[in-house]
Amino acid sequence: MLNNFLLKNWLIFWLLCLLAYPLAGENSGFDRQEFARLAKKISESALKEEKAYEFLQILALPGGRLTGSPEAARAIAQASDLMTQLGFDLVKQEPVEVNRWQRGQTETALVKSNKKGQHKLNICALGNSIGTPAEGLEAEVVEVRSFEELEQLKQAISGKIVFFNVLMDRTEPSPFAAYGRTGPYRTNGASAAASYRAIAVLVRSLTFRLDNYPHTGLMLYDEKSPRIPAAALATTQADQLSRWLKEDPHLKLYLKMNCEQLPSIISANVFGQLTGEEMPEEIILIAGHLDSWDLSPGANDDAAGCAVVIEALRLIKEAGLHPKRTIRAVLYMDEEFGGTGGRVYATSASRKSEKHLLAIEQDNGGGAPVGLALRGGDKIIKKVSCLKEILSPFGINWIRPGGGGVDISPLIQQGVIAGSVVPETQRYFDFHHSALDQVSAVHPREIELQAIVLAIVSFYFSQEGI
């Protein structure tokens, strides 16, 4: 019954689409009827096969793909093989020299309190952090909840470990906005504390959830302050440490980590494409980043984005479509440590004969799509609004200004219009940069819907231009 009901509604929907748009749209030569038919063809085969999830599994196979690591090198080889097997044109690895940071085997944090006893804490080094001295370090802890409080307590910080216990704002509906506001404690907290002679920092993990998993991420050193070790602390234990500090303000924390920087190494961006039949030099770029943090296979961040762009390209090819302009799927290297791959791609001599019209980056997890964000002003939003009804069954509720990503920002600076298919992200920071970002955290249908939308949108722009 239910199946018949859904089928009937599906057919009615498409019939209405056809009746509503019997003629060519605002864009010259654009045939909505034909496009609606293509979208249906793409989506039916996509949802039947759910290949995006299969690609996600393949890309996640090497495990955590820290920039410059052997796992990242394996992922580059696997991604190249996969794109070759799928019959994409011009499958290529473009070399990128990257810095290499290694976590090391030792990450120990012990609370030592005369009143509360000795307790182990779940920490992980923040990316780019230096290690502690080989014997570790031990000091009292000063808890702060803001940079202002750090400033107020500056006299008390010398020789201590600063504990940034700053919660992501749960009253903020947008998880990324909350993350953006709390992120500076992870990124810049160590140097801020070191400027008052702290000897290490612990940073509360950036997640709304209370769990026992530390969430890593990039930290940066300011040239003006001494370099001190920085680690993330699981949220449940941040609460626990805060309680212990109230009961015993003189408790000590022992910290030992042997993370380190290694010499730079040659890695690569990987891409494959469907070469345009009429304007091959004009590029519609769709991208994700192949590197990840090392605590998990980085399924949502960003094996999912890579799987989505590969699947979008496959769907266009399998539907027998021949884009007028080139649609290129790029898997960037080194998003997490500062975007080297993006800069190298945008400035490579190989780009001289190419013209990038649009760059779409998928780096917000493998969730079901909810919107389409595009930069470039009202004109492009208006132009693409003809797709709204076609995209609606796949979850697209809105088309508005926005989108982009670290890897494509050098292209944006060159004037390329950017965009993103925006997924649902309320659960994204549950997994983000932690051991929880496993393949099982992504749902096959949700990620497939993202690929369907990306396939339709990128094919549309390949035909219509910008």
Binding residues for Zn ion, rule: CB under 5 A, are 301-302, 363
Contacts for 223 with CB less than 8 Å, ≥ 6 apart:
none
C-alpha pair distances (Å), 146 with each of 33, 56, 183, 392: 56, 38, 12, 42
Q: Decide if 335 is catalytic.
A: yes
Q: For the chain, what percentages of helix, strand and coil (3-state, to nearest 5) are there?
A: 40, 25, 35
When the beta carbons of 294 and 301 are compared against Zn ion, the nearer one is 301
Q: How far is the CB of 336 from Zn ion (least distance, A)?
A: 7
Nearer to Zn ion, 301 or 430 (CB): 301
Q: Which residues pair with 142 in a beta bridge?
A: 162
The SS3 call for residue 349 is helix
Minimum CB separation of residue 251 from Zn ion in Å reads: 36
* Residue 407 CB, nearest approach to Zn ion (Å): 9
Q: Do residues 229 and 200 touch, judged by C-beta distance below 8 A?
A: yes
The Cβ of residue 4 has, within 10 Å, a number of other Cβ atoms equal to: 8
Count the Cβ atoms, other than its own, within 10 Å of residue 392.
12
The residue among 220, 227, 252, 249 whose CA lies nearest residue 121 is 252
Q: What is the CA radius of gyration of the chain?
A: 24
Residue 116 tokens read as: 């509360």
In the complex, least distance from residue 420 CB atom to Zn ion, rounded to whole angstroms: 12
- Tell me whether residue 129 or residue 420 sits nearer to Zn ion (CB atom): 420
Q: How far is the CB of 305 from Zn ion (least distance, A)?
A: 7
282/291 with CB nearer Zn ion: 291
- Least separation in angstroms between CB 84 and Zn ion: 25
Which value, to the nearest 10 degrees, does the dihedral of the CA atoms of residues 212, 217, 223, 224 take? Answer: -40
C-beta of 282 vs 301, nearer to Zn ion: 301
Altogether, the residues listed in the chain come to a count of: 466
Closest Cα to residue 335, out of 272, 231, 405? 405
Which residue lies nearer to Zn ion by CB, 302 or 430?
Answer: 302
Burial class (CB in 10 A: 0-12, 13-18, 19+), 67: buried
Of 93, 55, 9, 65, the residue nearest 450 (C-alpha):
55
Q: For residues 143 and 363, which CB has a smaller minimum distance to Zn ion in the complex?
A: 363
State in angstroms the smallest separation of the CB of 335 from Zn ion. Answer: 5
Cβ closest to Zn ion, residue 107 vs residue 302? 302
Choose, from 143, 318, 335, 446, the residue flagged as catalytic: 335
Cα 211 from Cα 436, distance rounded (Å): 10
CB of 283 to Zn ion, least distance (A): 22
In this structure, the number of other CB atoms found within 10 A of the CB of residue 360 comes to 29
Which residues lie below 8 Å from residue 377, measured CB to CB, with a gap of 6+?
A: 401
Catalytic residues: 335
